[in-house]
Structure formats: structure tokens, C-alpha cells
A and B are shown apart, each in its own frame.
Chain A
């Protein structure tokens, strides 16, 4: 009887634990990326063009997916707590101050190609898109309530 209860408890705990491959968003950079410290706030500042250069004095090149892409919406919600279209006025202010928004690409494949080929580029993809040509520098879990399902094809 005790053994049955033990097994049932283990099974219940396993059922409650998160899946081994979590629904995550990965921040990626080129293979030669060498920053010592990176965190969520720093990434936010890079994408908002508040932090312009890295520790080596080279200019960051952030790259975004287009505003309608589901992963862009998730990224925007996770890092800025706003949807892309809510940030129009922020970018108007930045334009008045002489700064343009990040580059925009239309797919995660294009994001990978851009990051690999552009020095100091920083972007984001779903886990299944990562390959050996990029370095994952930060991971953030996508909340279930966001309803995002990673599509690898």
C-alpha cells in the first residue's frame, strides 16, 4: 500500500513539473560575443537604444522581428511590458532625439542570418531555431498566459 502511494505521489509530482523543453525566448548574438555581464535590464536598454555601445566601445546593432510576428509580440511584452504598437510614441521621441528603432526582419531564419553576419548584432529566436553559428546569451521563460506556441517550421 505504501509503495502504491509513493509511486502515485511521484507520478503526480512528475505531472505537475514543467516539461523538459520549456517555452522560452532566447537572446542571441554572434559567436564572437564577449560581454561579461548581461541581464534583462541591459537587453531592454539595448533594444530601446538607451545603451548604444558595448564594453568594447562597439555600437550594438539590435534587430527585431516585424511588429505582427507572434514572437515579437511576446518579446515586447516580456521586455517592455507593452505591445509594439503602444511604443510608437516612444520611437517618435527617439526620432526627435536622433535615434532610429532597431532593424526589422521578417522571420526567425532572417534573424539568424542577420545576427551571424553583422558584428555586434543582438536578436532573439525560439529555441528550435538556434544553431551552432550563434551564441545564446540570455534565456527568458514565456509565460503560459501569453498563449505563445513555438512554431519551428
Chain B
């Protein structure tokens, strides 16, 4: 078992190193220098089409549960701008492509359609989106890609069991400038039941939501989210849930402070859930940063076909190294959850890169 684990760690690291090396080598080749930039994708036909994506390999060692190594994200982006007003975007993802959990296992899933949408720019300030997109609740869900976020683990209150990560439907967004700062208001409607043909694990049956984001000052933004939804299947319960959320993000000179709060009201059968996180990042020099996060969650939690009720207080402490713009190497320790099903204590490490 130990040899198997060592072999899988070695294989994953070898894959990542070779992958990054080949990207660097490609970027340095004169013949395609103008078309490919590591972390910014390939532009094979002028500038209207961009191909890119990201990959993530992660290792976790949970208390009382053993080790796991996985290439858990391999996403491919296709961006196409056929005209001034039209913008197409798709993200296809191989999730948990290779995993060492109980021996080396190759995923038998094909691929997930993470995002597939078209934006129509109505005018300078208004945009209509149709398709499958990330549910605009809070900050984390909209930028959850491994190279972007500061920790391998995701805050509990942003997880898919609280609200589905994807919306399939229509979204109308309008930008305003208020006191010389951007205010973005979006309203959206979901009909995943009929529109999402290649469904993810947890999806809405239908939903209505709104998101307001305002840059109060140059380096500080606040957001409010509201979502009314029914899930496809949560223990065969189809109560309508209502979610209220608030968030803020401040960042300057490598320092960051970020927080999200959400309250989900799910009726008697599904129960309610409330939680928040507060995350701080500080630069340490030489492209290293320290990250710390406090999380609180209370109520009825549905995870992996199990339900747990109660409250949980967590801490996450870690170090992130970003030696190049598209590359992030993260280590962290999560504590406070004990051996709960929701967030067991443990050590996490990951290597991720845009390509």
C-alpha cells in the first residue's frame, strides 16, 4: 500500500514537472511565441479564438482516513469572439481523472461540462448570458479554479451541498458607475431540470437569484447574493430553499482579507444552514505567502449522502508559493473538525497551473 502511494505520488509529480517543462519549452519556441503564452492560452487563429485551461494535482492526508493523491482537475477552456457583441466560452473538465484512493484508479466518468455559455453584449453596460455558468453566489464559487484560490480545501459554506455550483439558464447583468466606482447588478433564472443535459452531481431543479457587487473604494469590494432554489435530489426532498449571502474582499500590495457569509433556509425536512469564513493572506517575500482562515458552520449539513447536525469551528493555516504567474504550490493544515464527515482534520498539498 505504501509502495503504491509512493509510486502514485512520484507519477503525479513527474506528470506535473514534465507538463510545466513542456509548457515553458513551448512558450520559448520562436515559431509559436506570438500565439502561445503559458497561463494565457493558445491563439491559433488570430485573436478571436483562445484555447487554454488548467490542471491540479492534490495530495491529502486526513487523520484516521489515510492518504490520497489525485489529478483532480483537468479543465480545457475554449473562448471564441465571433463578433463585437458575441462571446462564447466553454470549460470541459475531467474531474478526479486519476486517483490513488484504494489503489490507482482512473476515472470512468467521461467529462463534465463545467461551463458552456454565450454572452450577448446589449450595449456598453448591459450583457445577456445564456447557457451553463457558475452560480454567482459569493466570491469563491465564481473563481474556484485551483490556481486562483489560496487553499487546496474549499470553505464549507461555499460547497456544492449548500448551493449548486452551476446554473443553467439566463442571466442579465448591468454595470453602473456610482461615486466613480463600479456597481454590477445581475439577475438570473435557472432551469437545470430541462436545460442541463450533461448534469453534475448536485444541480438545481430550478432557481432564481440576484447578485450585487460594488467596489466601495479602489481596493475593497462588497457583495450581496440572494438565491431561491430547489435541488434535483437531496434525500428526495424538494423543499424550496432560500439563501442570503454577503461578502467582502480587500486586497493591496499582496495582502488580502476576504470573507463570505451565507444563510440557507431549507424548511423543516432539509433544515437550515448558516456559516461564514474569514481568510487573510500576507506576502512573505520570494513569491511565498502565508494564508490563514477561520470557518464556522452551523445547522443541518448534507454531505456525501449523509446528514450531520450541529456546529463546527475550523482553522486552516498554510503557505502558498507562486514562483510564476500561472503556477501555485500550496500546503496547508486544517484543524478543529476532528474526524467529522464534513471537515476532518488533515494535511493538504496541491500543485496547479493554468496553461
Contacts and interface: CB of A to CB of B under 8 A. Distances in A.
A93 B148 contact: yes
Contact of A92 (B39, B81, B218): B39
A50 to B, nearest CB: 7
Interface stretch (A5-13, A95-103, A123-131, A145-153): A95-103
B85 A53 contact: yes
Nearest to A80: B218
B219 A96 contact: no
B94 interface: no
A41 interface: yes
Contacts of B39: 92, 95
A100 B147 contact: no
Contact of B123 (A42, A57, A59, A98): A57
B50 A100 contact: yes
Contacts of B182: 41, 45, 50
B79 interface: yes
Contact of A101 (B40, B77, B180): B40
B177 A41 contact: yes
A55 B41 CA distance: 30
Contacts of A91: 40, 325
B265 interface: no
Contacts of A100: 40-41, 43, 47, 50
A101 B143 CA distance: 17
Given A53-B123, A86-B254, A92-B147, A59 B81 contact: yes
B160 interface: no
B52 interface: yes
Given A45-B182, A92-B39, A59 B77 contact: no
Contact of A54 (B47, B81, B124): B124
Contact of A95 (B41, B177, B180): B41
B115 to A, nearest CB: 9
Contact of A98 (B87, B124, B148, B177): B87
B89 A98 contact: yes
B177 A59 contact: no
B121 A53 contact: yes
Nearest to A92: B148
A100 B51 CA distance: 11
Interface in B125-161: 125, 143, 145, 147-148
A51 B125 CA distance: 7
Interface residues of B, number: 35
Contacts of B95: none
A140 interface: no
Interface string B175-211: 1010011100000000000000000000000000000
B271 interface: no
A57 B85 contact: yes
Interface in A86-131: 86, 88-89, 91-93, 95-101
Contacts of A54: 124
A53 B84 CA distance: 7
Contacts of A59: 81, 84
A41 B180 contact: yes
A91 B143 CA distance: 12
A4 interface: no
A96 B218 contact: no
A97 B253 CA distance: 23
Contacts of A55: 123-124
A96 B85 contact: no
B116 to A, nearest CB: 11
Contacts of A40: 180
Contact of A51 (B40, B87, B124, B219): B124
11 contacts: A41-B180, A59-B84, A88-B325, A92-B147, A95-B39, A95-B354, A96-B54, A99-B79, A100-B40, A100-B43, A100-B47
Interface of B: 39-41, 43, 47, 50, 52, 54, 77, 79, 81, 84-85, 87, 89, 121, 123-125, 143, 145, 147-148, 175, 177, 180-182, 218-219, 253-254, 325-326, 354
